[in-house]
Amino acid sequence: MIPPSNLTFQDNLDPADWVAYRDTAAGFLQHLLEWVQHAPARPVWQEIPPSLKSQITDEVLPIDGEEISSICREFIDRILPYGPGNLHPRFFGWVNGAGTPTGILSEMASATLNANLGGRDHSAVYIERCVLNWCKEIFGFSSASSGILTSGTSMATLCALAIARTTAVGDIRRSGLQRHARQLVAYTSAEAHISVTKAIELLGIGRDNLRLIPTDASFQMDLSALERAIKKDLAENRQPFAVVGTIGTVNTGAIDDCVEISRICRKYDLWFHIDGAFGAWASLTEDHSSLRDGIACSDSIAADFHKWLHVPYDGGCLLVKDERVHYETFSTSQPYLARTGRGLGAGHPWFCDYGPELSRGFRGLKVWFLLKEKGIGRVSSSIAKNCAQAKFLEEMVQLSPSLELMAPTQLNIVCFRYNDYDSDDGELNKINSEIVTRLQESGLAAPSTTILHGKLAIRVSIVNHRTSIEDLESLISYVERIAAEPLRRIVA
């Protein structure tokens, strides 16, 4: 046998010079940690120069490799400065976690083990089980309940509603849903996250069969409207099967009355899923500990680690009270994936039997690192701090003659707008949108916007453990300063 030319059987993809490699790696890590340390001193966000966008996008496929040191340098010079901004204490957009240095270490550790969490018998599996046990304890689920780590709440909610569908119609994995006699219907609030709609679409139920129940003045689901909608669907011979409640809506941080929703679900025999993406973690704080009552009444809950827990993207979890129906919905058997009593094929039950994916990354490790390092004490006090900061900002808005509060602040989100009490709503929408764009482009602060009852609001979501009261005072003064610029002419 002659090896193909230029190839030797000694070749592999490891470094030729391990010592030099380790030096480069140590220097790189040093740089990354310093980058995080000094994040507050940089602009919140800066646009990537257009030429750099195309240079990055259109780079030719490398045929011959280059030195790792030059790739690290390129990352530092061209990629790192133009990130999404969520490390910065004045990043207030959407709901993004701020990360921690420990996130960097844990991701490196996870890549070192390079574990596939589909199943089998190895240490990473036990870390994921441990993290799930901690989540069960946090959310008051019994140890008999099941769970799985997911890419986030979208995936967790998709899985939860698939399990709810199994509960409602039995095993349709062979026959599909077409043979099912009655139209399935689900319910959520008009303020619910779009991932609920997507899940209903993907499950073949169709979004016309997701009822978006109106909300009250605090943006919580109107429960008499919910019950009326259920009764109407029953009267018209459809099959209600699930209600999704939200703890912490993305628009305003509104919290549905989960205890009451669960009563309605018991009455009509419906699955009750909670989207607790970020808000569910507030149940760890003293002020919001009563959220645990509602969570305990649910059949399943989805929550994210990459938001208020600051674990690096991505990571979330699904917990399910009924382990059996969870397993029934996703379990498979394949000779190639034989579960055995001993050896690497042991470690039953396998996570691939509790979700759609076979190969799964080691998401548990970064959660394990974070919770061990900070403890629940520090995690919950950083969440409580953000809620207190939101109350402070709400007061500042109420004290300002030119700012108008647009929604009650229930958790960590404050929605307000600049109002000169001279322009109509259409003009104010344009002015406030321009204020937010200028804030982002200046790199001073990065809130986002939303629409509440047709009015555009500056939306400040405080999820960052680095945010201080001074950052919020600065935000208000930046908004007032930009509003004093000749905005009307520009937006006209």
> Which tokens is 334 given?
């394949």
Cα 18 to Cα 14: distance, rounded to the nearest angstrom:
8
Among 39, 87, 95, 407, binds ligand PLP (CB under 6 A): 95
Binding pattern for the stretch 49-78 against ligand PLP, x by CB under 6 A and - elsewhere: ------------------------------
Binding flag, residue 316, ligand PLP (CB under 6 A): yes
Among 195, 262, 386, 450, binds ligand PLP (CB under 6 A): 195
Residue 320: DSSP 8-state:
E
Binding flag, residue 128, ligand PLP (CB under 6 A): no
Measured between its terminal Cα atoms, the distance across the chain in Å is: 77
Among 106, 145, 146, 153, binds ligand PLP (CB under 6 A): 153
Among 91, 139, 278, 369, binds ligand PLP (CB under 6 A): 278
Instruction: Select 201 or 480, whichever has its Cβ closest to ligand PLP.
Output: 201
Q: How far is CA 22 from CA 30, 221, 252, in A?
A: 12, 55, 47
Q: Any bridge partners for residue 274, and if so which?
A: 245, 301
Instruction: Select 100 or 154, whichever has its Cβ closest to ligand PLP.
Output: 154
Instruction: Choose one: 147-155, 321-329, 449-457, 467-475; the region binding ligand PLP (CB under 6 A).
Output: 147-155
Binding flag, residue 317, ligand PLP (CB under 6 A): no
Instruction: Reply yes or no: is the peptide bond before residue 287 cis, omega within 30 of 0.
Output: no
**Minimum distance between the CB of residue 173 and ligand PLP, rounded to whole angstroms?**
25
Residues 6+ apart with CB under 8 A from 151: 314, 315, 316, 363
Instruction: Choose one: 104-112, 271-279, 359-367, 371-379; the region binding ligand PLP (CB under 6 A).
Output: 271-279
C-alpha Rg value of the chain to the nearest Å: 25
Among 304, 394, 404, 434, binds ligand PLP (CB under 6 A): 304
> Which tokens is 352 given?
């691939």
**Minimum distance between the CB of residue 320 and ligand PLP, rounded to whole angstroms?**
17
Binding flag, residue 250, ligand PLP (CB under 6 A): yes
Q: Phi, psi (5° rounding) for residue 467?
A: -70, 135
Instruction: Select 88 or 193, whichever has its Cβ closest to ligand PLP.
Output: 193
Q: How far is CA 237 from CA 5, 161, 231, 232, 363, in A?
A: 71, 21, 10, 9, 43
**Minimum distance between the CB of residue 478 and ligand PLP, rounded to whole angstroms?**
25
Binding flag, residue 193, ligand PLP (CB under 6 A): yes
Residues 6+ apart with CB under 8 A from 342: none
Residue 352: DSSP 8-state:
G
Instruction: Choose one: 3-11, 207-215, 248-256, 472-480; the region binding ligand PLP (CB under 6 A).
Output: 248-256
Q: Phi, psi (5° rounding) for residue 184?
A: -75, 145
Residues 6+ apart with CB under 8 A from 288: 282, 387, 411
Q: How many CA atoms lie within 13 A of 42 on its CB side?
A: 18
Binding flag, residue 410, ligand PLP (CB under 6 A): no
Query: Among candidates 306, 304, 244, 303, which has minimal Cα distance to 274?
Result: 244
Q: Are strands 271-275 and 300-304 parallel, antiparallel or unpaired?
A: parallel
Among 256, 275, 353, 471, binds ligand PLP (CB under 6 A): 275
**Minimum distance between the CB of residue 154 and ligand PLP, rounded to whole angstroms?**
3
| Size, binding site for ligand PLP by CB under 6 A | 15
**Closest residue (Cβ) to ligand PLP?**
152
Binding flag, residue 397, ligand PLP (CB under 6 A): no
Which positions lie near ligand PLP, rule CB under 6 A?
95, 152-154, 193, 195, 246, 248-250, 275, 277-278, 304, 316
